[in-house]
Amino acid sequence: MVRTLKCMLLTGLFSLFMGSLVAQEIVINYDESKIPAYELPDLLTLNNGQQVKNAVQWTEERRAEILEIFAQEMYGHIPARPAGLHFKQMSEEVVYNGLGLRKVVRIYLDEAEQHWFDVLIHLPKNAKKPVPMFAGLNFKGNDATLDERAGSRWPYELILKEGFGVATAWRDAIEPDGKDSKIEEAVSVCKDGGVRAWYNPGGDWGAISAWAWGLSCIYDYLAIDKAVDASRIAVIGHSRLGKTSLWAGANDTRFAMVVSNCSGCCGAAISRRVIGENFARIATSFPHWFTRAFDKYMNKEADFPADQHSLVALAAPRPLYIASATEDLWADPKGEWLAAVEVAPIYKLFGKTGVKSIYPAPDSPDMDGTVAYHVRTGKHDITAYDWQQYLDFAQKHGWGK
Ligand code: GTR
């Protein structure tokens, strides 16, 4: 007994010591002058060293190589949707003085209806034709988005007035977000510990892949909703859900537009800049977001066989919007913008243009090309200002009224 206690004490002390060692190793840099010299992996060089010369070669060869790097080394592979996937509308009501219809659709993941999550959908009520949509996950639950609309994260009236619909589901109802998840409130899929535990148990996919999988299930529903224009569904997300949006858009090209809001490290920001959040920090704080293969890149950003511009490039040739906030240095706004700059050659293969080569002033969106960028004044958040730009951008591409 005494021996066991002693052993426990020693183990405890040892892990405390190791813990502080690990903590000490993670240095966060905010100084541009301390960014290491780096070279980005070339988007247009195939694994066999040959150059990609045209759009077909990009789409059929290089794109698949890059997708596999991120599946293998960062987020994990996303499995197919389950055979039993089906849907049931749970409610419908008229909201905002007749401006919109609000409905809840339950996405059942199995025939037996044991596993499911709910999608909250808002549609313009008097639309004359199927409407374009934004689809994205939320942080606090579907009902919370109704309160958040005043705080502008989900400005439903604004979106509806512009002629768009919007669909959202709670990320934790698909896969709990680690130890802080309010898992007891997520009675659906999460009663079995989240989709990763229930579906494809043992598969090495991180929560970001599970959330991206959930977004594709949402698409599957929207594609059969007659009120929705299935050819115009944008995937959107903020922060960790912005990383998810990029990854979902990369895997599921049915999403016709990709929006990344303050997605930062392992989102749009160039990793090799190692400024703000870095691989060691993100892999330590949020190990459940990633495949275990990712751990080996802690403090070794330059060893990663791609960089985040490669992920961002997988949105091509679809309209892509990357946004940052001036005070969000943790997410490295400049690095997010650089990724947008770097993908220009890929869009060029398709005869499309990217962003300008000058960093835009705050609140001056650069959205003349097929790739757009803005840096909003303020904090790490998604606001009505951000949404207005995404709506304008979509309209520029022929979406909306
Ligand atoms: C932070 C994390 C970021 C970002 C953010 C969020 O704590 O370091 O990578 O994803 O959370 O999702 O709000």
Map the chain to HEC letters: CHHHHHHHHHHHHHHHHHHHHHHHHCCCCCCHHHCCCCCCCCCCECCCCCECCCHHHHHHHHHHHHHHHHHHHHHCCCCCCCCCCEEEEEEEEEECCCCEEEEEEEEECCCCCCCEEEEEEEEECCCCCCEEEEEEEECCCHHHHHHHCCCCCCCHHHHHHCCCEEEEEEHHHHCCCHHHCCHHHCCCHHHHCCHHHHCCCCCCCCHHHHHHHHHHHHHHHHCCCCCEEEEEEEEEEECHHHHHHHHHHHHCCCCCEEEEECCCCCCCCCHHHCCCCCHHHHHHHCHHHCCHHHHHHCCCHHHCCCCHHHHHHCCCCCCEEEEEECCCHHHCHHHHHHHHHHCHHHHHHCCCCCCCCCCCCCCCCECCCCEEEEEECCCCCCCHHHHHHHHHHHHHCCCCC
**Which of the following is catalytic: 188, 239, 260, 263?**
239
For residue 225 and ligand 1, the question of a CB distance below 6 A is answered with no
Hey, which of 180, 330, 380 would you mutate to test ligand 1's pocket, going by the most ligand atoms within 8 Å of its Cβ?
Answer: 330
Q: pLDDT tens for the chain, 401 residues: list them.
A: 333 444 444 444 444 444 444 445 799 999 999 999 999 999 999 999 999 999 999 999 999 999 999 999 999 999 999 999 999 999 999 999 999 999 999 999 999 998 999 999 999 999 999 999 999 999 999 999 998 665 689 999 999 999 999 999 999 999 999 866 665 555 556 566 789 988 887 788 999 999 999 999 999 999 999 999 999 999 999 999 999 999 999 999 999 999 999 999 999 999 999 999 999 999 999 999 999 999 999 999 999 999 999 999 999 999 999 999 999 999 999 999 999 999 999 999 999 999 999 999 999 999 999 999 999 999 999 999 999 999 999 999 999 87
What local confidence, expressed as pLDDT, does residue 178 receive? 81
Q: Give the residue carrying structure tokens 């698409």.
A: 219
Q: Cα(234) to centroid of ligand 1, in Å?
A: 22
Q: Is 380 a catalytic residue?
A: yes
Cα separation, 352 vs 318, in Å, equals 9
Hey, which of 208, 240, 289 would you mutate to test ligand 1's pocket, going by the most ligand atoms within 8 Å of its Cβ?
Answer: 240
Q: Cα(179) to centroid of ligand 1, in Å?
A: 14
Q: Cα(243) to centroid of ligand 1, in Å?
A: 10
Alpha carbon 123 to its chain centroid, in Å, reads: 23
Q: Cα(260) to centroid of ligand 1, in Å?
A: 13
What local confidence, expressed as pLDDT, does residue 191 receive? 62
The residues with which 107 forms a beta bridge, in sequence order, are: 87, 117
Q: Is 397 a catalytic residue?
A: no
What local confidence, expressed as pLDDT, does residue 155 receive? 94
For residue 265 and ligand 1, the question of a CB distance below 6 A is answered with yes
Could you tell me which residues come within 8 angstroms of residue 356 by beta carbon, excluding any fewer than 6 positions away?
366, 368, 369
Hey, which of 138, 239, 278, 324 would you mutate to test ligand 1's pocket, going by the most ligand atoms within 8 Å of its Cβ?
Answer: 239
